[in-house]
Amino acid sequence: MTTPINPYADAARLLAGQQALNKCPQPTSVHIERHVDFFLGIARKAGLSLSPPARILDIGCGLGDSVAALLRRGYEAYGIDVLELWGADFDQYWAVGERPPLEIQQHLFKVDVTSYRIPFPASSFDFSFTDQVLEHVFDYDTLFREICRVLTPSGLSVHRFPGPCAVLEGHINVPCIPLCRSRAWLTLWAWLGQRSARQQGMAWREVVAANVEAMRYNNYPTKARLRQFARQAGLKVEFYDAEDLTFSQGRVARVYGGLRRLGCTRILGPLLYPLLPRIMVLRGEGSALEIRTLPPLRTNFSPVSDRLSTRKKIDLSGGSRLGWISLVGSIFFIFLLYQMVLNPENFVRDLCGAGNGKGKVGARGI
């Protein structure tokens, strides 16, 4: 099997992209604790109750904030990442922050991006998790096999990540992920003033270049594709997407809360499920844990391609054409109103052609 080309292997290009963008505020301690509670809660719902000193692996650990929180609770926690953000690659970290203390750094390890090999022996962990990481993976087969290898027979792994039906592509803040491979689509939204948190103050031409670059690092496989990779690695798959409504404070969760207050969740709630972040639980084929799969979601919405990174053509024939025109038109109209009403400064500036001089461009990483 040929190993997919991984854009993260080009360290110089990645560094240039990160340095061209603004940094976000560091997550607060409250946010980090809620983040840890979320994953431990999903593990419990999946049948695994973790008590200290259970061994936990954070895959895509960043500066190790979650690892530090788990260590404070008495767990034996470790973290891995493809960049040594706590050390040599600290300048590429996306948020304003400080290097973790040495006692935390000793629990963090860099993974070779060309092999994805996890630097621990087999059956080392009772639990592993990722948050907003799987959309940046380019070799799912190897990663899933490595997760299967390092988990104990009764262990499991929980992963939260966006799917191709999300309202916005979260790294560039542009709607309709299937169209975010199109430079024309990205140009339209940059001209309308749409910016990510790291692009504030950038001219629309700079934003277009940054977004085109950023999409090189993002990957949105379908659930069917993920199930295929999991089966090949000897893992069982369960999706707990609706559980995000219990923990999340995002856009879709707020809409769901409004529907609940109106008593409309039974009818309209399932329409929101495809927009939610995916919550995927992986466990070994030989796991003795009770499988608690949630009822299947009944919806007519289906992804437009099996794997967006291959840039397959979208079928726009027959009734499908009208559906796509309606979807794109609705998204365009809603965000146009958003720009004019809630973000008028960027909208007027770009409409008048101001601030389109040359400047730095780059990608928005994780």
Report, as an integer, the average pLDDT of 249-272: 70
pLDDT at residue number 291: 42
What is the band of 335 on the pLDDT scale with cuts at 50, 70, 90?
low
- In angstroms, how far is CA 127 from the centroid of its own chain? 19
The proportion of the chain whose per-residue pLDDT surpasses 90, expressed as a percent, equals: 53
Q: When comparing pLDDT for 338 and 28, which is higher?
A: 28
3-state secondary structure of 285: coil
pLDDT of residue 53 exceeding 50: yes
DSSP secondary-structure letter at 216? G
Domain 7-161+223-284, CATH class in plain words? alpha beta
Report, as an integer, the average pLDDT of 327-355: 53
Nearest to 366 by CA among 159, 105, 157, 130: 130
Report, as an integer, the average pLDDT of 52-72: 97
Q: What is the pLDDT of residues 122-161, one digit of tens each?
A: 999 999 999 999 999 999 999 999 999 999 999 999 999 9
Average the pLDDT over each of 135-139, 205-209, 278-282, 320-324 and give the range with the smallest value: 320-324
pLDDT of residue 250 exceeding 80: no
pTM recorded for the entire structure = 0.77
Average the pLDDT over each of 184-188, 240-244, 265-269, 314-318 and give the range with the smallest value: 314-318
DSSP secondary-structure letter at 294? P
Work out the mean pLDDT of the chain and round it to a whole number: 80
pLDDT of residue 211 exceeding 60: yes
Report, as an integer, the average pLDDT of 162-179: 91
What is the band of 91 on the pLDDT scale with cuts at 50, 70, 90?
confident
Report whether the peptide linkage leading into residue 52 is cis, meaning its omega lies within 30 degrees of zero. no
pLDDT at residue number 96: 83
> Rounded to the nearest 5 degrees, what angle is found at the Cα of 365, between the Cα atoms of 362 and 366?
165
pLDDT of residue 188 exceeding 80: yes
Q: When comparing pLDDT for 245 and 232, which is higher?
A: 232
**Cβ–Cβ under 8 Å, residues 363 and 217:** yes
CA–CA separation, 48 and 156 (whole Å): 8
What count of other Cβ atoms lies within 10 Å of the Cβ of residue 344? Answer: 12
pLDDT of residue 282 exceeding 70: yes
Contacts with 38 (C-beta within 8 Å, 6 or more apart), sequence order: 160, 247
Tokens matching residue 240: 């707990």
pLDDT at residue number 287: 61
- In angstroms, how far is CA 101 from the centroid of its own chain? 27
Report, as an integer, the average pLDDT of 34-46: 94
Q: CA distances (Å), 189 to each of 84, 153, 176, 321, in order?
A: 33, 48, 11, 22
pLDDT of residue 302 exceeding 50: no
pLDDT at residue number 57: 98
What residue ranges of the chain are covered by domains with CATH 3.40.50.150?
A: 7-161+223-284
**Cβ–Cβ under 8 Å, residues 291 and 210:** no
CA–CA separation, 195 and 187 (whole Å): 12
**What's at 354, amino acid-wise?**
A
